[in-house]
Structure 1
Amino acid sequence: MKRAALALLLLAAGPAVADSNLPPARLAYTQLPNAAQEAQAKALMETLRCLVCQGQSIADSDAEMAGDMRALVRERIARGEQPAAIRSYLIQRYGDYVTYDPPFSWVTAPLWITPLVLLAIGLLLARRLFRKGGA
């Protein structure tokens, strides 16, 4: 009984300790003073996936890691780096999963091919059903 109570306590405490008590990164919630640079940063942040939330972009996520990634993007944009170079850096650091548009490779092939295969199966099934119904 004690072990079960301890396990439940640890499970409940997990989300509470997911973020640290550190203050957010300097540019995590602060826009750049240059509107054009902020627009570039915002556009890039919309294309990058939060690695903690997995369903949100880093622009939309409140996770600490997403804030750190937003700050990194803004800092590099402010230094004059191109969004494509920043994106490449983040992909190199975190892998293809960090982007909503992963490049085609052997690893990501199922992501690109599966919808086409499912569509083809659906069309074949529909064709068979319509042939049986018309006969």
Structure 2
Amino acid sequence: MKRLLLVLVLMAAPVWAVQPDEVLEDPALEERARDLSQGLRCLVCRNESIDESNAELARDLRLLVRERLVAGDSDDEVIEFVVDRYGEYVLLRPTVTGANWLLWLAGPAMLVLAGGVGFAFLRSRSKGVAPQEAALSDEEQARLRRILEE
């Protein structure tokens, strides 16, 4: 029972990242802020959204998002503001435009290339002539017989 309670508490830990003093009074704005925060990467933590992170920088970013929403910015304007300020790395789901195409296509291209190289290697091995074992000379045969007799 204690283990189950511990597991449930640990699973709920990310929910506690947003502090009560950060929550907006308008539920619609708060919902938008939470949605935006879940798509922004914490710059301190690895692959954790600012909505889940307890880092100070994540808190600052959550407050920044809420400030921009209260100021009347649309969701796209808030994201654009944060990306302009911190770079595209801040997006958990990067856009598939411009130079990012190269990054998105690099993985599958390398997989196809590795498969082609492996296929060519295996094909060349199957067609190649196996080296013949050289027969032992008379001197080597005599030496082998002496070793086996010992």
TM-score grouping bracket, smaller chain normalisation: 0.5 to 0.7
In structure 1, the residue matched to 2:63 is 71
The partner residue of 1:88 within 60, 69, 80 is: 80
How many residue pairs were aligned? 104
Structure with the greater alpha carbon radius of gyration: 2
1:117 aligns with 2:122: no
In structure 2, the residue matched to 1:45 is 37
Structure 1 unaligned spans of 5+: 1-27
The superposition leaves residues 74-122 of structure 1 with CA deviations (integer Å, 9 ceiling, x where unpaired) of: 111122211110100111111110102223222x344311232245357
SS of 2:61 mapped into structure 1: helix
Q: More relative contact order in 1 or in 2 (CA 8 Å, sep 6+)?
A: 1
The two structures, once aligned, show a CA RMSD in angstroms of: 2.5
The separation in 2 between residues aligned to 1:123 and 1:32, in whole angstroms, is: 53
The separation in 2 between residues aligned to 1:125 and 1:40, in whole angstroms, is: 49
Letter in 2 for 1:67: R
The separation in 2 between residues aligned to 1:39 and 1:63, in whole angstroms, is: 21
The separation in 2 between residues aligned to 1:50 and 1:105, in whole angstroms, is: 24
The separation in 2 between residues aligned to 1:86 and 1:34, in whole angstroms, is: 17
Higher helix proportion (structure 1 or 2): 2
1:105 aligns with 2:116: no
The separation in 1 between residues aligned to 2:45 and 2:85, in whole angstroms, is: 18
Letter in 2 for 1:49: R
Report the TM-score, using the length of structure 2 for normalisation: 0.58
Structure 2 unaligned spans of 5+: 1-17, 124-150
